[in-house]
Amino acid sequence: LGLKDDCALIAAPPGTELAVTTDSIIAGVHFFPDEDPGAVAWKALAVNVSDLIAKGATPLAYLMSIALPGAPDHAWLEKFAAGLGAAQAAFGCHLAGGDTDRTPGPISVTITAFGVVPEGCVVRRSTARVGDQVYVSGTIGDAALGLALRRDPALRATCGLNLEMRSVLEGKFSRPRPPVALIAALRTCASAAMDVSDGLIKDFDRLCRASAVGGRIEVPHVPLSAAAHAVVAAHGATLIDLITGGEDYEALATIPPSRAAEYERLAAAAGIAVTRIGAIEDASAGISAIDAAGVPLAIARTGWDHFLPPDVT
Amino acid sequence: LGLKDDCALIAAPPGTELAVTTDSIIAGVHFFPDEDPGAVAWKALAVNVSDLIAKGATPLAYLMSIALPGAPDHAWLEKFAAGLGAAQAAFGCHLAGGDTDRTPGPISVTITAFGVVPEGCVVRRSTARVGDQVYVSGTIGDAALGLALRRDPALRATCGLNLEMRSVLEGKFSRPRPPVALIAALRTCASAAMDVSDGLIKDFDRLCRASAVGGRIEVPHVPLSAAAHAVVAAHGATLIDLITGGEDYEALATIPPSRAAEYERLAAAAGIAVTRIGAIEDASAGISAIDAAGVPLAIARTGWDHFLPPDVT
């Protein structure tokens, strides 16, 4: 209704269903209070699109509710709008409505995103089967390192990172790029999927529990960026830090063995790297992350908890 | 997907469209920080349902994003859940998904609500026509007085309100009851509608501007509760305070003269009071609120502005 009414109208094409998801980002929790406003807008949309992708749903539209600590600052809003426009273009969806409020607290942006999925084709998290291969898109741990670099810029020198490496890591934290081009491949091949937002291990654990199966992550196979490899080599972080760090916004999928080749082919055609990192096992095998020798790693904390420190600040 | 996946699936029945809306409520802005948690939940859903009703959309489901300042307090959450359950039952919709975050700021609840409307039947705010009658549901100004009483309990004695009157006014502020039973009547009879959330005069002004028409509110016809009458009689508030106070969550509708009798009949059958309070005029007539003598009232501030004081606290 042209953003000028009390509601928006959303019509899913015949034969499709609407997938809906909502996620908030809050200054001082999910982004730095002095973050580039364009990155704030980008991330607010990206974290929601990430959920749609993992369900095999094509982004369509979104509603945004934004709370600001005072009267809107024109320059801030202009950068925010530009970042939102860029994210919309990257993810293929448009703003359908929203709400603006003043808050005595920090800036907070809540987006509800709508995606379209052919009827009966949504990819659930509870339908992984014993014997499925476990795949993840992109690389894992970069966002956690980007956050660490923002907190402690000296880490860059300590770990011998060049400017490009720093920019890759910080970019993954502040402007995540969930793999929107992977949607068709997930819909076609995945038996189950979810996005990696709270840490690979924690989210894999959730997927296995929802599916009532066991499973293993083969940690040496988890894909890392060159920058992440450099940080680990310089003892700036451990592998466990990376696989429990959170904010990856990549797609974790279980693929039946008969579909694995097709999944790899469709992903390659879409320009998205996917890597086999483990397998689904019987529930009795439990859930584990194993090293090259097959020995389970001891992991004290599997990922991000909304009610534990640390904040980003 | 049973609240256990990344997204919810929403399917609108064939021949219908989905109306979607989002609104946040924030402690210290929209509710008192020490408010009954059940009332917080109720209001969070009610303010969204109010938007659906005004569009002629039947509430179906909602997503909720809640930000809490610390680890959830069990007793608080239990009361919150009970209030949400009561509101769901009253408004006929269910929780389809959501998100929980920690915040360094105040408690904030953002709901995105989904309603169903037959294809092409949504009631817009931009389609009022010259000659239409203006109707409002319920009574106006009670919530503003409820807020005033919460701020200054002495007002009760000053204005000679009995306990029941106080409870009516405070209840309208903390547990608004948008007229869900009026949906069919609005869909059948209204040329345009919106909900009254930021003050009757401000919202009427918006409706007229969106429709490119003028219009008048006949202030003596604006329906007041017995409690509001008592406060005005005791000089505890002016009529202008009431028609600019905000948070009424009633339905403001324009009804073609040929439909007015039917609208009144359908509303009565649904048990919802509706009152004719003005008319739509040519744009050249402007937008006014007139007294019994037909003289326009001077109104300095037409309603609630998200970026002006006062907060509720």
Res B309: pLDDT: 42
Is B306 a residue whose pLDDT tops 60?
no
Res A220: pLDDT: 96
Does B96 sit within 8 Å of A20, measured CB to CB?
A: yes
What is the C-alpha separation between B7 and A194, in angstroms, rounded? 10
Q: What is the pLDDT of residues A84-137, one digit of tens each?
A: 999 999 999 999 998 888 999 999 999 999 999 999 999 999 999 999 999 999
What is the C-alpha separation between A245 and A225, in angstroms, rounded? 14
Is B34 within 8 Å of B163 (Cβ atoms)? no
Averaged pLDDT, A281-290: 95
DSSP state of A310: P
Is this complex scored with an ipTM above 0.85?
Answer: no
Of B12, B19, B102, Cβ closest to residue A29:
B102
A103 CB neighbours in chain B (<8 A) are 26, 28-29, 105-106, 108
Q: Tokens standing for B193?
A: 């509608």
Is B217 within 8 Å of B278 (Cβ atoms)? yes
Of B99, B106, B307, Cβ closest to residue A104:
B106
- Coil, helix or strand at residue A82: helix
Is A46 within 8 Å of A176 (Cβ atoms)? yes
Closest CA to B248 of B64, B109, B54: B54
Only one residue has tokens 């609407």, namely A18
B64 CB neighbours in chain A (<8 A) are 22
Burial zone of B130 (CB within 10 Å; 0-12 exposed, 13-18 middle, 19+ buried): middle
Averaged pLDDT, B300-309: 61
Is B39 a residue whose pLDDT tops 80?
yes
Name the band, by pLDDT with cuts 50, 70 and 90, for residue A3.
low
Specify the pairing of strand A274-281 against strand A133-137. Answer: antiparallel
Question: Which chain B residue shows the shortest CA-CA distance from A126?
Answer: B5
- Coil, helix or strand at residue A260: helix
Name the band, by pLDDT with cuts 50, 70 and 90, for residue A291.
very high
Average pLDDT, chain A: 93
Q: What is the pLDDT of residues B252-269, one digit of tens each?
A: 999 999 999 999 999 999
Read off the pTM. 0.88
Averaged pLDDT, A190-217: 96
Does A126 sit within 8 Å of B4, measured CB to CB?
A: yes
Q: Residue A35's CB: how many other CB atoms inside 10 A?
A: 18
Of B7, B19, B105, Cβ closest to residue A105:
B105
Closest CA to A170 of A192, A190, A147: A147
Specify the pairing of strand A94-102 against strand A58-68. Answer: parallel
Closest CA to A184 of A274, A281, A247: A274
Name the band, by pLDDT with cuts 50, 70 and 90, for residue A308.
very low
Is B109 within 8 Å of B40 (Cβ atoms)? yes
User: Which residue pairs, CB below 8 angstroms and at least 24 apart, start in A92-95?
Assistant: A92/A58, A92/A59, A92/A180, A93/A45, A93/A49, A93/A59, A93/A60, A93/A61, A93/A62, A94/A61, A94/A62, A95/A3, A95/A61, A95/A62, A95/A63, A95/A64
B247 CB neighbours in chain A (<8 A) are none
Res B298: pLDDT: 85
Res A307: pLDDT: 53
- Coil, helix or strand at residue B264: helix
Of B5, B51, B115, Cβ closest to residue A124:
B5
A68 CB neighbours in chain B (<8 A) are 307
Distances (CA, A) of A161 to A146, A153, A166, A248, A304: 12, 11, 6, 20, 26
Give the closest-approach CA distance of B117 to chain A in angstroms: 9
Write down the H helix ranges in chain B.
37-54, 74-91, 142-151, 155-158, 163-174, 183-189, 200-211, 226-233, 239-243, 260-270
Is A34 within 8 Å of A90 (Cβ atoms)? no
Res A310: pLDDT: 43
Does A28 sit within 8 Å of B9, measured CB to CB?
A: no
Q: What percent of chain A has pLDDT over 90?
A: 86
Only one residue has tokens 């491949």, namely A185
How many alpha carbons fall within 13 Å on the CB side of residue A219? 22
Strand ranges of the sheet holding B58-68, from the earlier edge strand across to the other edge:
A8-10, B16-26, B108-118, B58-68, B94-102
Mutation for testing the A interface, residue in B4, B32, B63, B112 having most A CBs under 10 Å: B112
Is A71 a residue whose pLDDT tops 90?
no
Res A305: pLDDT: 58
Hey, which bits of B86-151 come out as E strands?
Answer: 94-102, 108-118, 133-137
Question: Which chain A residue shows the shortest CA-CA distance from B14?
Answer: A14
Averaged pLDDT, B73-79: 92
Does A22 sit within 8 Å of B64, measured CB to CB?
A: yes
Is B20 within 8 Å of A10 (Cβ atoms)? yes
Give the closest-approach CA distance of B158 to chain A in angstroms: 32
Q: Residue A261's CB: how many other CB atoms inside 10 A?
A: 11
Res B308: pLDDT: 45
What is the C-alpha separation between B247 and B141, in angstroms, rounded? 8
What is the C-alpha separation between B173 and B99, in angstroms, rounded? 26
| Residue type present at position A276 | R
Averaged pLDDT, B33-47: 96
Of B67, B68, B124, Cβ closest to residue A108:
B67
Average pLDDT, chain B: 93
